[in-house]
Structure 1
Amino acid sequence: MSSHRALRSAGAVPLLSLPSPPPRRRAAPSARPRAPRPAPARRPGGPGRVKKGKKAAPKRRGQPLDGLTAATEEEAEADWRAMRGLPPLPQNDDDDDDDEPAALAQQPPPPKRKRKAEGAPIMPVRASKRIAARRLEASAASTTIPLPSPAAPPAPAAPAALPAPAPAAAPPAAAAPPTPAANALRSRNDPVVGANGFRLLHPQHHFVRGTDQSAHLTMSFTDNTQPGVTQFLRYTPRGPRGGAGVAPAIDWNAAADIAKLNRWTCQVLKRHGAASLRPDVTHFTPGERQWLRDYGRRLESDLTNNGTAVPSREEQARAFNARWAGTVVEPGNRQAGRTRPTRTSHSLESEIYRSKLYPDSLRGRR
């Protein structure tokens, strides 16, 4: 059943029969117009309102903004002159814009800076100022030429002095031996000289074991303390400490006594300023090497056949020096005429291994 039928059956008045309300009347417009609603401020150059799904077209740069007007050249010139504190330009509409204003052309030119006088010295500052002043005074004094006074007569020239007679030539003196430097070295062939005119009159002797060398216990020399006089210095053995007892005789087979004699010789030369002796090496001769080969074979035979232990390096060095120490190197060798020194166990062992003088079975045994 429709709604109208339901209402009719209930005795209600149908809606269509109700009177309609009177129409609403609009108010008459006032005489004062209403101000338009201001639009929301937009950022200059902004995109503005953007519809959904579309991008706003970018505003071109260089285009004048809303509400701003471009200034003319006259206005820009007037503003610039106002900031600089210059008077405004006169208005002249007849003149062309490109022509220079009459007021600007009538302005006097800016004053020029005065140039310094040429040739005037530029004085520096601080400490160099005094130095420059002294240089100027010195240059002025050097360039000043003194003029003779016309009233004063010229002074007579002094007579030239006669040359003094030359002194008699002194007799030539003997050349003094050069003083060696503190770190200088000399060989056995160099003369032994030192300070204060010291000169050893014989070669420096090197004491060795095995032979009596008492003739070399006296050293003869000359120096400036007694010019032209030969002086002597002899080694005297010292007794025990305390001065009691007699000094023992020199044992020419004792290594301690031989070392003491060589040390005494070096001390005497050092006290007189002589240079140190360069360590000289006496090379092994073929005869010495052959003796060591035979000695090594004999030691190997005693060890193999008899079971005799190999002697130590010190005992081998004593056996070698008993045969060769103090002897003179034969002619035809590298160092002919030189006295063979006393070999140490280290030098002997080095020569045995370097020249392979011993059999392989004895290597490494001490």
Structure 2
Amino acid sequence: MAMPDGPSRRRVLGLLGGAAAGGAVLAAGCASRPRPAGPPRLGLLQYVRAPAPDAARRGFLEALGRGGFPPGIGVVLLERFAAGSMATCRAQVGELLASGADMLVAIGTPPLEAILSVAPARLPVVFCYCSNPWGAGAGASYTEHRPNVVGSVSTSPLAAELDLARTITTDLSTVGLVFNPSEANASFEAELLRREASERSLTVLIEPVAGPAEVPRAAERLAGLGVGALVRVGDYATSVGFASLAAVGLRQRLPVYSVDPSDIATAGCLAVVGWDAVEDGALAGALAVKVLRGRSPSALPFEAVERKVLLLNRRTARAIGVRFPPLLLRQAGGVLG
């Protein structure tokens, strides 16, 4: 069977090395270690297995294929999944470096943070499914960033989430938020949510958690305080524990909103406004292709995900006694039930 045309690993490494001579980064984890023969080796690190990061990963790999680097042919894919542990993340970065990775790919803010704390500064790094690359140490802005790092930014559309909640409940005055303050991305988005809420004369009541197991009790406490809705930010604790959060909303007849489109089918989730995770990964994949073809990450800006998704769940609405405004139903990209 004929192999598709595409840059060999030696040619790609030469392109990257040549770019480095002009001020770009080297595609090398350890210059003194002999390189395995074959295509470029991509080390992919994902923090948790869940629908949204899995969709981002799928978009990334599909974009690699479209760009001439299909996994298994154009690149060797080395995958690691950290099961929500930063210690595991850091250890897996070391494994990927020892395996001769020529580029590291972070799916999530915690993997990006782990990579930047462990990997050599000359190794190209691409990220996606990341709301706060700046908090992870990737740079100061979309254009001012580490010279070896580039990726797609998907800070949750928190203003749109609050506007959605106010559209459905016009007299809404207080929302409840459960999140893990030890997660850099969650703390970043929680602060953004507070600012957006303040501009809308909304009060945010917060219940911090250390992990998914604490989510249902925290949600019950917020319901007991009389919040008018529960909202989500980009947070792994409530991502993994979202079903229990939504279940509290269902029992308490309380609207629950999310920024993760994959949450919409969860019983108790009323509505979602969030980014398309496949597009998120595809943007990062296209950036990775540019780097593999010789562009320096330093010459590429971070890219913001732009495709917003609005989804509504009629089953939940009926269960908690909520009616969607007709205009909102017409605007929705999908309505369940």
Interval containing the TM-score (normalised by the shorter chain)? under 0.3
Instruction: Point out the structure with max Rg over C-alpha.
Output: 1
What is the TM-score normalised by the length of structure 1? Answer: 0.22
Choose between structure 1 and 2: higher helix proportion: 2
What is the TM-score normalised by the length of structure 2? Answer: 0.23
